[in-house]
């Protein structure tokens, strides 16, 4: 059983990888080709990880040692591969993030929640493609010819280099900027997001930047947190009223705890005041 499993994992990984490459080299402007390339290369990676874990011990390909019906998720596989006592492989944090992002991208692709640009998906492919070549060769001891034809290899390498060149150009652009705040882009994870332009100069992802209503710090709009559940909501004769204590509905992650505390303090002092008034009228009425 072990033997067939071994053949299956590696053989399947390589055949997914070859499929991925054949999609990637169809040089069309269509996004669908890149979707298929990503789907296949991520699948190839997942299988290759399992094969590497299986070589340490077959039990490591299962999520839980007691349950041999479910194989490891990609995230668990990476953790085990990096664990010095199991895989002992160096996968840098930045590679890890890229792998996980590609994996998330695959889930989005299969669930049709897809709004990424052609450039972005091409970049993701190039990242995982380069990583896989390294992984096959250094971790699964394969010769390049065992998983990709020379011709294809050259074609895709050209494409990967084109990406790299674009990234280098974006980074050079960033280096020339003065008095500009540059953040890590939420899309491509490169330090190429120019805050004042609200856009990444590499993958061209646009994101709204807004000031936190509480502290005024600039934030990605999607990072602001809704705190309206701390407000006092009431329904009075079918009409919804809300007491917001002078606060906006959102604030930045840094301000959440403080803002909620302020609201609590206001509620508390209002309550104390109400109690004092009640007491006053009670005494007066006696
Ligand atoms: Zn970007
Ligand atoms: Zn804030």
Nearest ligand atom owner, CA of 205: 1
Higher-pLDDT residue of 162, 14: 14
Residue 113 Cα, ligand 2 centroid: separation in angstroms? Answer: 30
Residue 106 Cα, ligand 1 centroid: separation in angstroms? Answer: 18
Lowest-confidence pick of 25-34, 47-56, 85-94, 202-211: 25-34
pTM for this entry: 0.62
The answer, yes or no, to whether residue 130 has pLDDT greater than 90, is: no
User: What is the rounded CA–CA span in Å between residue 203 and residue 187?
Assistant: 8
pLDDT at residue 197 in the model: 93
Percent of the chain predicted with pLDDT > 70: 93
Lowest-confidence pick of 49-58, 110-119, 238-247: 110-119
User: What is the rounded CA–CA span in Å between residue 5 and residue 11?
Assistant: 10
- How does residue 217 score in pLDDT terms, banded at 50, 70 and 90? very high
Residue 261 Cα, ligand 2 centroid: separation in angstroms? Answer: 14
Q: In the predicted model, what is the mean pLDDT of residues 193-199?
A: 94
The answer, yes or no, to whether residue 279 has pLDDT greater than 90, is: no
* Backbone φ and ψ of 190, nearest 5°: -95, 160
pLDDT at residue 42 in the model: 93
**Lookup: tokens for 24:** 């990637």
pLDDT at residue 1 in the model: 46
Q: In the predicted model, what is the mean pLDDT of residues 85-105?
A: 86
pLDDT at residue 28 in the model: 64
Q: Name, in order, each residue with C-beta under 8 angstroms of 75's C-beta and a sequence gap of 6 or more.
A: 100, 103
Nearest ligand atom owner, CA of 258: 2
Mean pLDDT of the chain: 86
- How does residue 271 score in pLDDT terms, banded at 50, 70 and 90? confident
Nearest ligand atom owner, CA of 224: 2
pLDDT tens digits, 30-82: 667 888 888 999 999 999 999 999 999 988 988 887 776 788 888 899 999 99
pLDDT at residue 225 in the model: 93
The answer, yes or no, to whether residue 260 has pLDDT greater than 50, is: yes
Among residues 11, 39, 43, the alpha carbon closest in space to that of 24 is found at: 39
**Lookup: tokens for 282:** 């009670």
């Amino acid at each position: 059983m072990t033997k067939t499993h071994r053949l299956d994992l590696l053989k399947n990984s390589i055949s997914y990888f070859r499929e991925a490459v054949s999609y990637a080299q169809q040089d069309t402007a269509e996004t669908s080709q890149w979707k298929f390339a990503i789907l296949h290369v991520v699948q190839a990676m997942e299988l290759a990880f399992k094969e590497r874990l299986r070589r340490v011990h077959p039990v490591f390909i299962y999520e839980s040692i007691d349950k041999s019906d479910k194989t490891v998720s990609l995230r668990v596989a990476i953790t085990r591969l990096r664990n010095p006592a199991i895989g002992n492989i160096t996968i840098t944090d930045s590679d890890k993030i890229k792998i996980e992002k590609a994996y998330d991208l695959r889930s989005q692709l299969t669930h049709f929640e897809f709004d990424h640009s052609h450039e972005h998906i091409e970049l993701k492919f190039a990242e995982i493609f380069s990583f896989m070549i390294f992984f096959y060769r250094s971790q699964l001891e394969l010769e390049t010819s065992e998983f990709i034809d020379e011709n294809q290899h050259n074609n895709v390498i050209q494409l990967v280099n084109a990406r790299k060149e674009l990234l280098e150009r974006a980074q050079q652009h960033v280096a020339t900027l003065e008095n500009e705040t540059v953040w890590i882009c939420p899309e491509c994870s490169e330090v190429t997001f120019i805050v004042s332009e609200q856009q990444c100069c590499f993958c061209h992802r646009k994101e709204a930047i807004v000031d936190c209503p509480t502290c005024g710090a600039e934030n990605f709009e999607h990072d602001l947190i809704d705190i309206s559940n701390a407000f006092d909501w009431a329904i009075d004769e079918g009409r919804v009223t809300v007491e917001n204590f002078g606060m906006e509905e959102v604030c930045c992650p840094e301000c959440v705890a403080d803002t909620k505390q302020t609201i609590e303090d206001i509620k508390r002092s209002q309550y104390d005041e109400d109690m004092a008034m009640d007491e006053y009228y009670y005494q007066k009425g006696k």
